[in-house]
Structure 1
Amino acid sequence: MSKSIISVFGATGQQGGSVVGELLKVGNFKVRALTRNPDSEVAKKLKEKGVEVVKCDDSDSKEAIQEALKNSYGIFSVTFPFGKNESEDEIGKKVADAALGAGVKHFVFSGLAPCNEISNGRYDVPHFDNKHKVEMYARQLSKENPSFVSSFVYAPFYYQNFKTYFQPKKSNENGNENYSISLPSDPTGKPLDMGDIENIGSIVSEIFSNQSKYSGVVVPFSGDALTGPEIANTFSKVTGKTVTFNFIPPSVYRTFGFPGADEMASMFEYYNEFGAFNDLDKSIASKITKLTSLEEYLKKSQFKLE
């Protein structure tokens, strides 16, 4: 008996790549990687592992996406807020429609909380709210089409961000080598939910393997929830370096002027007051897989302060 196909959007990226890797490891499904560039080095390596690689991007037409999804039992969809001509919610809804049209049975979407709704309109974070619009649309499709099951996974602030956007900065004071981590995460507010994006693969694999159990379910995951000073202390413990925390008020962060600064500031205002997942059950994910703590991630990745 042939294995059912799971098609994965963003298969060469962080979330999709983790999902592909775990599905291959578990071996319950055949994996189809959807990518805009099937000739990339990452895509070639996937082919070598037996993955079916198909040229498809969620900015393609609904008809093209539907064709790429044919014969798929399930799909994992992750959307990105920047660099497309359509809005994120339009893209997500189009993918859901294409999945339904292709006869997909299980739609798993990487979503986020509705910040605007939860905060009664005080915090506008489009890349959260647009994802939630896709979730609500998929739920409606599932209600109207019972054979089309939808499930959702919510990722937290990635530990991997400490290697890019929020990399610790080096300073030399009185001849001493010190580092600081600057974040708009208020030490007096909610601890910052964080996680290793590699954990998402195990969660999504479990969701696909137990469709009825996770029908309509949101699975948020968080490997650690720490204040800024606790984050800095963890870095100090693992690296042996002096690392301090520098709180940048969101109102100040908003003035930095780079693309997305205003939205990022609003996101942290939301995090500081409500946390990443508000009242959602974070224990679901920890029952599925061992979630990586910040300390474990820093050790595993051999994080270097430079």
Structure 2
Amino acid sequence: MSHSMPQKKVICVIGVTGNQGSSVAQRFIQDPTYHVRGLTRDPSSSKAQELAAQGIEVVQANLDEVSTLQVVFAGANIIFSVTNYWEPFWRSDCRQKAAERGISCRQYAYEIELQQGKNIADAAAQHVDSLEDNGFIVSTLSHAQKSSRGEYRELYHFDAKADVFPDYVANNYPNLAGKMSCVQTGYFMSSYKLIPDAYFKKTNDGSFWMTFPTAPHVTVPHLDVNADMGNFVYAVSKMPPGRSYMAEGTTCSWTEYMRLWSEVNSVPAVYRQASLEEFVLGSPDAEFGREAGDMLAYSTNPGYDGGDKSLLKASDIRQAGIDCPMTSLEQFMKKENWLNVLQKT
């Protein structure tokens, strides 16, 4: 009598070549009970090929076309969803289209991300029966407009996510909502690479200044996205459905961030709160300055998490008896190569 291998569980990972998706795929591939199906626009890219070589099934899918998603979600037991505001935000054709319509590139990118999120939800709802009880794990952020009671109406890269995950899903697909976990992500520890001058402005005396519009002693979550998103989502998949999380390795103020960074690199470094206007003026791209500036100001009040104190963290997952290793900000800083920043002229 032959003992057949138990059927592997299928996890579909959206954006498998991106920061979050590749981390999730690489964590689940380590568990032999899973088959990892990674979605990407271009399976021939070098990053996609690299993942395929690790045993990940890389498939072509387009988040702008719900039909392509319906096909690749077939038989999925878990779907990991992530959408990317910044991809259309920076694209010159999108900026052109935004200008033609007389709207900001920020709003245009919001509309694209919002529609992609709805497409993911629409396609996932077609396959809700094959999903595990906690089989729809979505990367999202707090709802800025609601959480700030209308003070922040243009924090588009937050609301494009929150308008779908959880709102659109809850309003349209109660069965899918019942299988959903919402994972908010903290500030990526690697984001300094995008705006090194905002994080670390080298002054004439060789010291470094960080100037953000966040109050000096307000704490914000920090996430080593490439190392930890996979660990966190894998741990969340073992939890009951219907909960909301904050993925972070350390929650601390930007003042504390600079104190740690100063200590790790043995250079003087300080945090100074800037006005929103000053931050925007200092940004290489004004629209990016507005989007990031709003996020940094919103982090003061009501808070990066929208003031939601009920979000579960890695420590709560561990208390439930589930392993959830995360990288602290100090550990990240110690393993990172800071030469490019330190040697700035």
> Considering the TM-score relative to the shorter chain, is it more than 0.5?
yes
Partner of 1:94 in structure 2? 119
Q: Tell me, in whole angstroms, the C-alpha distance in 2 between the residues paired with 1:272 and 1:231.
A: 15
Higher helix share: 2
Partner of 1:267 in structure 2? 295
After superposition, residues 239-258 of structure 1 pair within 5 angstroms as 239-255=265-281, 256=283, 258=286
After superposition, residues 154-193 of structure 1 pair within 5 angstroms as 154-166=184-196, 167-173=199-205, 177-188=206-217, 190-193=218-221
Contact 2:136 2:180 in 1 (8 A): yes
What amino acid is the match of 1:294? L
Contact 1:109 1:151 in 2 (8 A): yes
Q: Percent identity?
A: 27
Instruction: Please tell me whether residue 132 in structure 1 is matched to residue 162 in structure 2.
Output: yes
RMSD: 2.2
Q: Offset at 1:137?
A: 1.7
Contact 1:185 1:192 in 2 (8 A): no
Q: Give a deviation string over 1:226-247, Cα, whole Å, max 9, x none.
A: 2232211111111112222232
Q: Offset at 1:10?
A: 1.1
Instruction: Please tell me whether residue 150 in structure 1 is matched to residue 150 in structure 2.
Output: no
Q: Offset at 1:146?
A: 6.2
Partner of 2:101 in structure 1? none
Contact 2:140 2:162 in 1 (8 A): yes
Instruction: Please tell me whether residue 299 in structure 1 is matched to residue 329 in structure 2.
Output: no
Contact 2:11 2:35 in 1 (8 A): yes
Q: Tell me, in whole angstroms, the C-alpha distance in 2 between the residues paired with 1:27 and 1:259.
A: 45
Q: Tell me, in whole angstroms, the C-alpha distance in 1 between the residues paired with 2:33 and 2:173.
A: 24
What amino acid is the match of 1:131? K
Q: Tell me, in whole angstroms, the C-alpha distance in 2 between the residues paired with 1:254 and 1:46.
A: 38
Give every structure 1 segment of 4 or more consecutive aligned residues whose post-TM-superposition deviation is greater than 6 Å. Answer: none
Contact 2:78 2:137 in 1 (8 A): yes
After superposition, residues 1-306 of structure 1 pair within 5 angstroms as 1-59=6-64, 61-82=65-86, 83=88, 86-103=111-128, 104-105=130-131, 106-124=135-153, 125-135=155-165, 136-143=167-174, 145=175, 149-166=179-196, 167-173=199-205, 177-188=206-217, 190-197=218-225, 198-210=227-239, 213=240, 215-255=241-281, 256=283, 258-277=286-305, 278-288=307-317, 289-304=324-339, 305-306=342-343
Q: Tell me, in whole angstroms, the C-alpha distance in 1 between the residues paired with 2:33 and 2:177.
A: 20
What amino acid is the match of 2:254? G
Q: Secondary structure at the match of 1:234?
A: helix
Q: Tell me, in whole angstroms, the C-alpha distance in 1 between the residues paired with 2:158 and 2:81.
A: 15
Contact 1:5 1:74 in 2 (8 A): yes
Q: Provide the aligned length of Structure 1 versus Structure 2.
A: 297
Q: Offset at 1:147?
A: 9.1
C-alpha spacing 1:108/1:181, structure 2 compared with 1 (3 Å)? same
Q: Secondary structure at the match of 1:259?
A: helix
- Give TM-score scaled by structure 1 length: 0.89
Contact 1:139 1:150 in 2 (8 A): no
